[in-house]
């Protein structure tokens, strides 16, 4: 067998393995996916919202949180990170209208959401501390559907399901599909105690757990991933409440999408680097989350080289054939060229794609939105083309990470 | 809630290994079936070749019509050529086993024998054209692969358009001592190469038309 065949079989094996993990977890726990735990008591809660130049969205965010039906919400601390627009004026306006809203400002711009979040956390005196991004809008019952998980005293963090608010163009609509798949997958990972991120749009932490890990790492570009790994490494449990929904705005142009994804990837690498000593140790963090992350990186990057190599050779071969064919006045394509004799590798690929696509459909079915339906061709674009953008992003991010570029 | 946590990794591993083994088994079965198909063709062709050789021996000193000899040789060569095309198709889909490689070599040997058996008939009858197309089977060079692809098409077109052409494509890198001995007579420098009627050795082919001028 050729080396490339071994490589392809290895990829197929790993892909089947992870897919089967998800499928098994789904079938074994599908009745609990929408589980909402009733709280034993009213836990006092403060929400911290970091804000930097978010004049266009901060008002809607504050209103969404204040509209929550959770009775234990004591404070909404909105931290202005020295915005250059009129964000702080808007925040102060809300603070005047509702005594639960506290408008605070960092002494100087921290440059990162983590800095503003940590600053806001200093004002929290409640049992639970929540965080929400200034461009996100939790649903009315989002918080109340998360709180019950804190009945478990080892529960350190509970995260919500993020859906896309601004489905204005194709890119945003495809991200909307992606966010649904991510949310469903994260919930399944929750059954394996392997949730690797508590998202920015809405996550709630036990304050003692938050203090235990020392808050957010301000040097990390994805502080929400880092703090989650920190919780897990310290033995705190992390859960996800899929019925709890927070809407968020996603990038609507390639440039900002690219920038955001590179930042996420660099943050992921920073986190892997920080917790490398936990590899194959420390429960599910070292035994599954880290190997899962590292494997994703490894497969993504090597897979791209593999793909480029194969595709490159194929295209060069076709160009050369075309060149010689034209020179010799021979037909470029003939029936014999089209006759297919697919190998077993092709069938493996086909089964994998079919299983992956079925998984996507199931995940979508669990994240239906009122008044919005995804188009089938968007799902195909996501499944075939959008996912292909991941490996190049990984390589660019890896390059930037190695160069030490870690700007927000 | 976490009841599945402990076992799911092993269960998934067992499922993956199971589907993988089933897939590999099926793959090997398909490849074996392709190989068996080619093998049965090969046996038939070997019988036909032996039959043809016996026929040649019988007619050697008798005045049999050259047309009969020509038709028999071309018919047999065409049959082998079609089988070789099928072999090429299966070749591309063979990933798990090496069964077809050895069959490929056997076919090359068969075609070498066909070439040698035609030397005398061609010399005697001169009523058909013998085209030997020698190429590299194992090459990884894209340029060479592309060149061989186009040459195959040109020669195939010529074979289809001309009535009296006996075409024998042979992989020159088959490591067959008989073939190597035969090739040493021509002092061939590089592949692909076309030998027409055992006398014209062509390293360049411009088009089908350019080949026709070498035909008798």
Query: Tens digit of pLDDT for each residue in A350-386?
Result: 888 888 888 888 888 887 777 778 888 888 888 888 8
What is the distance between the alpha carbons of residues A12 and B95, in angstroms, rounded to a whole number? 14
Residues 138-177 of B with CB under 8 A from A: 142-143, 145-147, 149-150, 153-154, 157
Are B143 and A321 within 8 A, CB to CB? no
For residue A59, the tally of other CB atoms under 10 A from its CB is 16
Query: Minimal Cα–Cα distance from B163 to chain A, Å?
Result: 20
Query: Tens digit of pLDDT for each residue in B141-191?
Result: 999 999 998 998 899 888 888 888 889 999 999 888 989 888 888 888 889
Residues paired with B201 in a beta bridge? B195
The one-digit pLDDT tens for each residue of chain A (408 residues) are: 778 888 888 988 998 999 999 999 999 998 888 889 999 999 999 999 999 999 999 999 999 999 999 999 999 999 999 999 999 999 999 999 999 999 999 999 998 899 999 999 999 999 999 999 999 999 999 999 999 999 999 999 999 999 999 998 999 999 999 999 999 999 999 999 889 999 999 999 999 999 999 999 999 999 999 999 999 999 999 999 999 999 999 999 999 999 999 999 999 999 999 998 888 876 788 888 888 888 888 888 888 888 888 899 989 999 999 999 888 888 877 776 666 667 788 888 888 888 888 888 888 888 777 777 888 888 888 888 888 888 889 999 999 999 887 665
Quick one: pLDDT at residue B2?
45
Give the helix ranges, DSSP H, for B126-176: 142-161
Q: In CATH, which of 3.40.30.10, 1.10.8.420, 3.90.1150.10, 3.30.450.20 is domain B43-212? A: 3.40.30.10
Residue B134, helix vs strand vs coil: strand
Domain map of chain B by residue range?
43-212
Nearest to A1 among B92, B96, B153 (CB): B96
Residues paired with A163 in a beta bridge? A247
Q: Is B200 on the interface with A (CB under 8 A)?
A: no
Quick one: pLDDT at residue B61?
64
Tokens of A311: 């595709």
Residues paired with A240 in a beta bridge? A159
Q: A178 Cβ partners below 8 Å, 6+ apart?
A: A382, A386
Are B16 and A330 within 8 A, CB to CB? no
Q: Is B203 on the interface with A (CB under 8 A)?
A: no
Element (H, E) at B124: helix B99-125
Longest dimension (CA), chain B: 92
Are B2 and A324 within 8 A, CB to CB? no
Residues 4-23 of B with CB under 8 A from A: 4-5, 8-9, 11-13, 15-16, 19-20, 23
What is the distance between the alpha carbons of residues A92 and A104, in angstroms, rounded to a whole number? 9
Nearest to A191 among B5, B13, B31 (CB): B5
Comparing CA positions, the residue from B211, B89, B110, B103 lying closest to residue B169 is B110
CB of A135 closer than 8 Å to CB of A249 = yes
Quick one: pLDDT at residue A338?
66
Quick one: pLDDT at residue B1?
44
In this structure, chain B runs to a length of 216
For residue A214, the tally of other CB atoms under 10 A from its CB is 10
What is the distance between the alpha carbons of residues A190 and A149, in angstroms, rounded to a whole number? 12
Nearest to B4 among A24, A347, A351 (CB): A24
Q: B176 Cβ partners below 8 Å, 6+ apart?
A: B105, B108, B109, B112
Query: Tens digit of pLDDT for each residue in B24-81?
Result: 898 888 888 888 887 887 787 778 778 777 777 776 666 667 788 788 888 888 888 8
On the question of pLDDT at B89 being above 80, the answer is: no
Chain A residues lying within 8 Å of B147, measured CB to CB: 320, 324
What is the distance between the alpha carbons of residues B70 and A10, in angstroms, rounded to a whole number? 53
Quick one: pLDDT at residue A79?
97
Comparing CA positions, the residue from A167, A179, A181, A174 lying closest to residue A358 is A181
């Amino acid at each position: 067998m050729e080396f490339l065949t071994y490589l392809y079989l290895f990829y197929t094996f790993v892909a089947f393995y992870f897919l089967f993990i998800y499928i098994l977890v789904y079938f074994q726990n599908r009745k609990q996916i929408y589980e909402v735990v009733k709280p034993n008591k009213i836990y006092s809660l403060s929400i911290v919202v970091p804000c930097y130049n978010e004049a266009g969205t901060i008002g809607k965010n504050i209103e969404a949180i204040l509209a929550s039906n959770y009775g234990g919400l004591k404070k909404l601390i909105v931290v202005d990170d020295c915005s250059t627009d009129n964000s702080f004026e808007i925040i102060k306006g809300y603070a005047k209208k509702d005594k639960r809203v506290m408008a605070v400002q960092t002494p100087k711009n921290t440059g990162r959401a983590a800095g503003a979040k940590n600053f806001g956390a200093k004002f929290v005196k409640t049992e639970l501390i929540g965080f929400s991004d200034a461009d996100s809008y939790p649903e009315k019952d989002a918080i109340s559907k998360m709180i019950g998980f804190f009945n478990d005293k080892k529960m350190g963090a509970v995260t919500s399901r993020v859906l896309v608010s601004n489905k204005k163009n194709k890119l945003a609509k495809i991200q909307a599909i992606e966010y649904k798949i991510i949310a469903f997958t994260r919930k399944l990972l929750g059954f394996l105690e392997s949730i690797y991120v508590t998202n920015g749009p809405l996550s709630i932490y036990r304050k003692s757990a938050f203090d235990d890990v020392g808050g957010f790492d301000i040097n990390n570009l994805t502080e929400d991933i880092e703090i989650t790994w920190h919780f897990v490494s310290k033995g705190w449990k992390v859960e996800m409440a899929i019925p709890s929904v927070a809407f968020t705005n996603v990038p609507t142009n390639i440039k900002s999408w690219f920038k955001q994804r590179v930042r996420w990837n660099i943050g992921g690498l920073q986190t892997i680097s920080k917790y490398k000593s936990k590899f194959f140790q420390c429960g599910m963090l070292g035994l599954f989350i880290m190997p899962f992350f590292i494997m994703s990186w490894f497969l993504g990057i090597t897979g791209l080289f593999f793909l480029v190599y194969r595709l490159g050779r194929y295209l060069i071969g076709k160009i050369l054939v075309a060149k010689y064919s034209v020179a010799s006045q021979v037909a470029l394509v003939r029936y014999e060229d089209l006759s297919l004799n697919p190998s077993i590798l092709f069938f493996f690929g086909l089964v994998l794609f079919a299983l992956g696509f079925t998984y996507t459909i199931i995940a979508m079915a669990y994240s239906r939105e009122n008044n919005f339906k995804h188009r089938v061709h968007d799902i195909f674009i996501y499944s075939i083309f959008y996912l292909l953008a991941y490996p190049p992003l990984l390589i660019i991010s890896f390059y930037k990470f190695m160069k030490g570029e870690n700007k927000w | 809630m976490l009841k599945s946590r402990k076992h799911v990794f092993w269960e998934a591993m067992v499922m993956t290994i199971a589907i993988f083994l089933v897939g590999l088994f099926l793959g090997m079965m398909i490849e074996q079936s392709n190989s068996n198909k080619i093998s049965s063709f090969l046996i038939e062709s070997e019988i036909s070749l032996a039959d043809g050789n016996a026929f040649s021996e019988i007619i050697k000193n008798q005045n049999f019509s050259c047309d009969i000899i020509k038709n028999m040789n071309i018919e047999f060569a065409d049959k082998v050529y079609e089988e070789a095309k099928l072999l090429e198709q299966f070749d591309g889909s063979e990933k798990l086993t090496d069964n077809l490689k050895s069959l490929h070599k056997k076919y090359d040997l068969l075609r070498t024998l066909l070439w040698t058996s035609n030397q005398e008939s061609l010399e005697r009858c001169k009523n058909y054209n013998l085209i030997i197309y020698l190429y590299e089977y194992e090459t990884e060079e894209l340029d060479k692969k592309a060149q061989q692809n186009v040459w195959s098409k040109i020669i195939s077109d010529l074979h289809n358009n001309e009535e009296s052409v006996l075409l024998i494509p042979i992989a020159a890198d088959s490591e067959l001592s008989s073939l190597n001995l035969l090739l040493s007579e021509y002092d061939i420098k590089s592949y692909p190469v076309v030998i027409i009627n055992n006398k014209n050795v062509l390293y360049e082919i411009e088009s089908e038309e350019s080949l026709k001028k070498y035909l008798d």
